[in-house]
A and B are shown apart, each in its own frame.
Chain A
Amino acid sequence: MLAYGNGDGTAFNVLYGRWRGPLYRYFLRQCGHSGHADELFQDVFMRVIGAATNYEPTARFSTWVFRIAHNRLVDHWRKLGREPVDPLPSGDIGDDCELDPPGPENSAPDRQAESRELGEALMAALNELPDVQREAFLLAEEGGLTLEEIASISGVGRETIKSRLRYATAKLRNKLESWR
């Protein structure tokens, strides 16, 4: 980012190639609508481009850019009249059973189809998660952020994020239990 701010155009290409997928999927999973995801994604990268000359590395780039994305998403939801709700834990989180999805090395056609279906089931289960739990999961998976970084972006405590991630993981496991 500093190199791009100093006029190195290829540095931005590298940066964009690294973060275009995670950031786009973050918006796509959160909005559930590719049109909105496109709009938000473009808006965030335009802000990144505009801020390049004054960029100061106070944190990791991923933390910085996902903070922008989070704020933009909150604005989007507010505009739609949608408030992310943090649901109270309901009942048992679920057992800590190990999920055993088929590995990518399985090349048999029936295995590939099973893997694809499992992936679709995971996405469906992810879509059913509460917003805040899904966001915590996506920031961890797509952004590679730590608990502290997610907590900082979300404006809550570290333990809260830890709890959200545990609930999200348990729910996803439960949804995919039939695939074991």
Chain B
Amino acid sequence: MTEIDPKLSRLYREASSEGPPAALDAAILAAARKQIAKPQRRARSFWVRWMAPASALATLVVALSIAFLVERERPETLDGAAIREVSPRPQSPPPARITETAKSKAADSAAPAAAEKKEAPVAGAPAQVPVPAAPAPAPMLRSTEPAPPAAQAFPAEIRAKTIAPKATTESNVAGDSALDRLGGTAPAAPAAADKLAPIRQQAIQRSPQVWMDEISRLKREGRDEEAAEQLAEFRKTYPAYAVPENLLK
């Protein structure tokens, strides 16, 4: 510091010897000791400072996880097989299947032996089992509703026989079900059955979501009648599927 004369500076330092009173020294040193005697408060204050943001973050993570899981388990994203696993199988297919088999036998009388050989266990059943005149209200059933009484009226052995081929052709059960229902619900109207044959064939190949998209498309195009038919068929095949509200109108 060249602005101050060194000799003046020396004179000042020699003349300056004042200091704080001893009591003041003691008070300050005591306060300093007291301050460092509580270091744990520092750690706690750190935790307290971050507790709220950490809690908010944890809550957000849990909420997002739950939302993600719920989104994944929505029925729209499940395929037909998954729906069948969680919902009771419609009870009308067994007789319908039997009826279909009988119909095919009658139509194709030229090759009865082959049909009998292939479906020998059930071949005799349809002729003996009367098809219910009013097939159950299965299309409107929810998965939580009890099975229709019409289905319960079938003999246990027939039901057992119809379950066996179902297991072997698991991938086409839904489609078969649609076919069987069509055949079962209109046994006296072969023309209508023929009309709906393409729909049945499509039902075999389409997933529920694709089918719903197709119904939506028909609605948009103003083909309400076809859409209604498709929707009725869809609900027979996938009774547990949550159909969008706009398609029900």
Contacts and interface: CB of A to CB of B under 8 A. Distances in A.
Contacts of A101: 7-8, 10-11
B201 interface: no
B42 interface: yes
B14 A119 contact: yes
Contacts of A147: 1, 3
Contact of B29 (A7, A13, A119, A173): A13
Given A52-B35, A122-B12, A173-B8, A42 B24 contact: yes
- The A contact surface, by secondary structure, is helix
A46 B32 CA distance: 8
A53 B3 contact: no
A160 to B, nearest CB: 12
A45 B28 CA distance: 7
B20 interface: yes
Which range holds the interface residue count of chain B?
20 to 34
B121 to A, nearest CB: 86
B13 interface: yes
Interface string A17-59: 0001100110010000000001001100110011011000000
Given A7-B39, A115-B14, A169 B24 contact: no
A38 B18 CA distance: 12
Interface residues of A, number: 47
A95 to B, nearest CB: 12
B4 A137 contact: yes
Contacts of A67: none
B22 to A, nearest CB: 11
Given A25-B18, A49-B35, A162-B3, A99 B8 contact: yes
A118 interface: yes
B11 A99 contact: yes
A42 to B, nearest CB: 6
A119 B15 contact: yes
B9 to A, nearest CB: 6
Contact of B7 (A16, A53, A98): A98
B94 to A, nearest CB: 80
B25 interface: yes
Contacts of A73: none
Contact of A24 (B11, B14, B18, B33): B18
19 contacts: A4-B32, A12-B36, A21-B17, A21-B18, A49-B32, A49-B35, A50-B35, A101-B10, A101-B11, A119-B14, A119-B15, A137-B4, A141-B12, A146-B1, A147-B1, A166-B3, A169-B8, A172-B8, A176-B11
Interface of B: 1, 3-5, 7-21, 24-25, 27-29, 31-33, 35-36, 39, 42
> 7 shortest A-B CB distances, which residue pairs?
A119-B15, A165-B3, A101-B11, A12-B32, A24-B20, A45-B28, A21-B19
